[in-house]
Amino acid sequence: MRTSINSRERKRMHDLNEAMEELRSCLPYSQDASSRKMSKINTLLLACNWIRQLTIRNHDLQKQLAALRGGEAITVPAPPPAAFAIAPAPLAFGVGPAPCVKSFGQHCFCITCLTSVSQQ
């Protein structure tokens, strides 16, 4: 009995690790041999922040598209409030004079830049 429980838990953890690797492969961060692999929590935080920034950018582009089409209103539902009791503070993504080598477009989504950018 205990062996089957351990086997099931081991399979669950392998599945979770495979899913985290797949998520890491989709995120814009340095994946070369010299960089360390992100932890699970850092992967989830980066994914959350990246999705939030993409949602904001998408909403801005939809506004611009509506303005170019002659003011047709495109109603985009506001994202639901976070389900967490403690939500992380919004991050300020300023483009500095020397952008990070891991930058993706205008913003850098590497863990170092996400956690060290001072609030403006």
* Tens digits of residue pLDDT in 41-53: 999 999 999 999 9
Q: How many domains does the chain have?
A: 1
Does residue 67 carry a pLDDT above 50? Answer: yes
Q: Over pLDDT 70: what percentage of the chain? A: 58
Select from 14, 38, 11, 13 the least CA-distant residue to 26.
38
Tokens of 3: 């062996």
pTM of the model: 0.53
pLDDT for 43:
92
Domain that holds residue 22: 2-27+36-116
DSSP string covering 1-60? -HHHHHHHHHHHHHHHHHHHHHHHHHS-S--STTSPPPPHHHHHHHHHHHHHHHHHHHHH
> Mind listing the pLDDT tens digit for each residue in 80-92?
555 544 445 454 4
d(CA 40, CA 33): 18
Does residue 3 carry a pLDDT above 50? Answer: yes
Across 5-28, average pLDDT: 93
